[in-house]
Amino acid sequence: MFSETVERRLAPRALDLDVEIKGLVSPLPPYLAFKEVWRNKGRFLLVSLVIALITTLVLFIDGLAVGLGAGNIEYLDKLNAELVLFQENVDLSTSASQISRAKLNEIKHVDGVKDAAMVGFSNGSIVFEDGREPLDISLIGVEPGRPGEPPAFEGQGLKGKRSAEAIIDRNVALRTGLQVGDRLSLKSIQGTEEEYYPLEVVGISDGRQYFIRPSVFVPYLTWDKVKPQGIANGGDQSELIFNIAAVQLNEPENLEEMASRVEDEVSKVEAVDRKTAYEATPGYSAQQSTLNTIRIFTLLIGVLVIGGFFQIQTLQKVGQIGMLKAIGASTSTIAIAFVLQIVYITILGVAIGSIGTLALSLTFPVTVPIVFALESVLVAVISLLIIGPLGGLVSLFVLLRVEPLTALGLSS
Amino acid sequence: MIPVLEANSVTKTYQVGSNAINAVHDVSLSICPGEFVAFVGPSGSGKTTMLAMLAGLLSPSQGNILIRGRDLSRMGEMERTRFRREKVGFTFQSNNLVPYLTVQENVELMLKLNGRLNKESQERAKELLLRLGLGDRLRNLPSQLSGGQQQRVAIARALVHQPDIVLADEPTASLDTERAYQVVQTFASLIHAQDLAGIMVTHDLRMCQFVDKIVQMRDGQIARIIDNPQEIRSFANAHMMN
């Protein structure tokens, strides 16, 4: 039946026992994983697309968390000062806090303080002659060249204490088209009347939103003049009042010690770091924890979807796994092939989802508060890459427990 | 001739509640190179359990099994896995092939498992498949093959890495008569050609015409061993009549 050549080739020969390729270094697991995925493209692509949709959802939630968070606290987060001083007993509320010029002088004289400047917050709108919708902005009064004034990446900083000039943040520039050298018209409510103030744009800073509004920075005396005023303001109208003090330290590493020292030496002030200050912004913590909860639940759904898929697939393959173990495939070879399979489809899903999300986000108008920060995108992507193998853990245990005896229809 | 395989007083006991049940009891046998043996007997007679022990898939409760002088019961789990990979060729009743590998890839899988895939062994796999009449099916997936073709692929996979023993569990269970004869005859030819020890568990007693020895089992024990060619032919013919 067989030719002589074939019989010679099929003749027994001594097996070389030294040829032992362990599952951990063998090219067999990636080979098996790839072949199964490739030959069942439709099924695995479907799971990858589910992962892609979960990725899109997670990245959008993440972008929304960063975008909304930035809209709330971007200015305080990027403040060029180590300490933020509030009036005592106002729950670190920038709108409730009131600090006088005299208090600022006391702060400046505390040993270890490098510089301190006043910052005042209010709001207003930029109006347009061409009938466009007014843009609501945070109107922030700062001292030119001092802590609190954002650096202008285009144009220059503020010069005079009472000059009619402004630095706008990039969000204002993007949404209004204003450029350095343009004049803007600021609407402010004075008593019961609407007043309009022309301001020259002298610089454009990076994103410095505050209270979900883009910001316009003006010199503090200008701010004091143009900020919305009530009919009858209480207190001493001759004294300049602002909301917080931005304090730079000689030794920023001694933050806690300096905060205590300032509180000890200056009465009725509360000194905190930037993070504490912006976390106290009304609604910020609640908003972030809500978005984080949604994000965690989305990831959990991802774990369950992937886990369910692989659990069903593993149960369908018990006979096949038993056969592979019976013919001598080590459990590690089969387990690694299984994990690699999950890794392949998770990477594919996350890649499709990430590219799709970024492409989709390019179509959004600038008013949509979605910001993809590299660090948080990386955290989200790594989390998503972890959920795949995590979802497959239960199936992995099932797979490990399959006995080679099942190939013969037996069990121990 | 030195036997490839020796089973000495092998017993397998299962504990069911407070009762001890002997699936196999005091079985001794030896198989020499080039010998093709059929284990026959009714369901529950212990033939598949015996096959599992000979393959190192199950440890005997008593007695020992020697393959080329090496005691299987003294091997650890990893060593037994390696033993199956290197020294044993398998065909099963079902789930024989990896569904997402082609015919050629299924056969080459044994070579890959043993780290022996090279041009020469690949060529050997192809020629083996060619001799089994599957030359035009190399790139087909198992789902594109008939039951008989799948069994022939399994036979090629069982032989390609040149094992010491080849074990077949009900290789004809899902085949029609003609295919069944073809598969077992091919199997027997290759076992003889390669001078291997072959063991087949079967319910189909007609297939015994191709073997060199019949081990008839009943209630976990060897009821009879037929090794006379004349008697073997008579045994198989008697069942062909039925």
Half-sphere exposure of residue A293, counting CA atoms within 13 Å on the CB side? 6
Q: What is the DSSP string of A181-211?
A: T-EEEEEEEETTEEEEEEEEEEEEES---BT
Q: For residue A242, how many other CB atoms are within 10 A of its CB?
A: 24
- Which amino acid makes up residue A298? T
Looking at the complex, report in whole angstroms how far the Cα of residue A339 sits from the nearest Cα belonging to chain B: 17
Do A362 and A403 fall into the same domain? yes
Pair (A293, A257) in one structural domain: no
* Cβ-Cβ contacts under 8 Å for A43 (sequence gap 6 or more): none
For chain B, the average pLDDT equals: 91
Nearest to A408 among B109, B124, B169 (CB): B169
Phi, psi (rounded to 5 degrees) for A187: -95, 135
Q: Tell me which DSSP letter residue B172 carries.
A: T
Residue type, A51: I
pLDDT at B241: 59
Residue A199 belongs to a domain: yes
Say if the Cβ atoms of A408 and B52 lie within 8 Å. yes
The count of CB pairs under 8 A between chains A and B is 124
Structure tokens at A274: 């930037």
User: Do the Cβ atoms of A325 and B81 come closer than 8 Å?
Assistant: yes
The verdict on a CB contact (< 8 Å) between A31 and B112 is: yes
8 A C-beta contact, residue A190 and residue A139: no
pLDDT of residue A201: 96
| DSSP H or E stretch at residue B124 | helix B119-131
Asked if residue B171 lies in contact with residue B204, where contact means CB atoms within 8 angstroms, the answer is: no
Q: What is the pLDDT at residue A62?
A: 87
Closest CA to B102 of B159, B149, B57, B164: B149
The answer to whether residue A8 sits within a structural domain is no
Q: Residue B170 corresponds to which amino acid?
A: E
Give the residue on B whose Cα is nearest the Cα of A328: B85
**Chain-chain contact of A7 with B114 (C-beta, under 8 angstroms):** no
β-strands A135-142, A113-127 pairing: antiparallel
Which chain B positions have a beta carbon within 8 Å of A405's beta carbon? 52, 57-58
Q: How many domains is chain B partitioned into structurally?
A: 1
Nearest CA-CA partner of A261 in A3, A32, A85, A120:
A85
The burial class, CB within 10 Å (0-12 / 13-18 / 19+), for A261 is middle
Question: Which residue of chain A has the CA closest to B93?
Answer: A408
**What is the distance, to the nearest Å, from the Cα of residue A191 to the centroid of all Cα atoms in its chain?**
40
Out of A223, A240, A267, a domain closes at: A267
Check CB contact under 8 Å for A320 and B84. no
Closest CA to B188 of B213, B215, B211: B211
Is the CA virtual torsion A316, A319, A323, A326 positive or negative?
Answer: positive
Check if the beta carbon of residue A186 is closer than 8 Å to that of residue A199.
yes
Identify residue A297 by its one-letter amino acid code: F
With respect to residue B20, please indicate whether it lies within any of the assigned structural domains.
Answer: no
Owning domain of residue A150 = 89-267
Number of other residues whose CB lies within 10 A of the CB of residue B198 = 28
Pick A410's closest partner by Cβ from B49, B84, B193: B49
Output the domain CATH number for residue B142.
3.40.50.300
Q: How far is CA A297 from CA A128, A391, B58, in A?
A: 44, 14, 45
Q: Which of B82, B84, B113 to mutate to test the interface with A (most CBs of A within 10 A)?
A: B113
**DSSP string computed for A358-387:** HHHHTTS-TTS-----HHHHHHHHHHHHHH
**For residue B201, which amino acid is it?**
V
The verdict on residue B61 lying in a domain is no
In a domain, A120, yes or no: yes
Q: Are residues A151 and A219 in the same domain?
A: yes
Q: What is the pLDDT of residue A18?
A: 36
Whether A407 and B92 lie within 8 Å, measured CB to CB: yes
A227: helix, coil or strand?
A: coil
Q: How many domains does chain A have?
A: 2
Which pLDDT belongs to residue A5? 42
How far is Cα A74 from Cα B145, in angstroms, rounded to an integer?
A: 65
Burial zone of A44 (CB within 10 Å; 0-12 exposed, 13-18 middle, 19+ buried): buried
Whose tokens are 């009131």? That residue is A98
Chain B interface mutation, best of A9, A26, A408, highest count of B Cβ atoms under 10 Å: A408
- Please state the φ and ψ torsions of residue A167, each to the nearest 5 degrees: -105, 130
Question: Quick check: is B22 in a domain?
Answer: no
Instruction: Determine the distance in angstroms separating the CA of A44 from the nearest CA of chain B, rounded to an integer.
Output: 13
Distance CA B83, CA A80 (A): 70
- Residue A138 and residue A65 share a domain: no
A146 in the same domain as A51: no
Within a domain: residue A392?
A: yes
Q: Indicate whether A217 and A325 sit together in one domain.
A: no
* Shortest CA distance from A8: residue in chain B: B194
Q: A72 vs A316, A331, A332, CA distance in Å?
A: 51, 53, 51
Contacts of A338 in chain B (CB under 8 A): none
Q: Any residues with CB less than 8 A from the CB of A281 and at least 6 apart, and which?
A: A72, A73, A76, A94, A211
Per-residue model confidence as pLDDT tens for chain A (412 residues): 344 444 434 433 333 333 334 444 468 999 999 999 999 999 999 999 999 999 999 899 888 888 888 888 889 999 999 999 999 999 999 989 999 989 999 999 999 999 999 999 999 999 998 888 999 999 999 999 999 999 999 999 999 888 999 999 999 999 999 999 999 999 998 888 889 999 999 999 999 999 889 999 999 999 999 998 865 554 455 678 899 999 999 999 989 999 999 999 999 999 999 999 999 888 888 888 998 898 888 888 888 888 888 888 888 888 899 999 999 999 999 999 999 999 999 999 999 999 999 899 889 887 788 888 888 889 888 988 888 888 888 889 988 989 888 887 777 6
- Beta carbons of B194 and A11 less than 8 Å apart: yes
Q: Which amino acid is at A5?
A: T
Which of A241, A267, A293 lies at the terminal end of a domain, its last residue? A267
Q: Do A154 and A290 belong together in one domain? A: no
User: For A25, which DSSP code?
Assistant: T
A83-87 and A269-273 as β-strands: parallel, antiparallel, unpaired? Answer: antiparallel
- Sheet hosting strand B36-40, strand order edge to edge: B88-91, B165-169, B197-201, B36-40, B213-218, B221-226
Distance from CA of A76 to the nearest CA of B (A): 58
Are A205 and A321 found together in one domain? no
Q: Chain A interface residues facing chain B, Cβ-Cβ under 8 Å?
A: 1-2, 6-7, 9-13, 15, 17, 19-21, 26-28, 31-32, 35-36, 38-40, 319-320, 322-330, 333, 404-405, 407-410, 412
Low-confidence residues of chain B, pLDDT below 50?
none
| Contact at CB, B113 and A328, closer than 8 angstroms | yes
Q: What is the pTM of this model?
A: 0.76
- Examine residue A274 and state whether it is found in any structural domain, yes or no: no
Contacts of A313 in chain B (CB under 8 A): none
In a domain, B135, yes or no: yes
* Beta-bridge partner residues of A242: A99
Query: In this structure, which amino acid lies at residue A237?
Result: Q
User: No. of H helices and E strands in chain B?
Assistant: 7, 10
Tell me, yes or no, whether A200 and A321 share the same domain: no
Domain boundaries, position B178:
33-54+75-241
Radius of gyration (C-alpha) of chain B in whole angstroms: 18
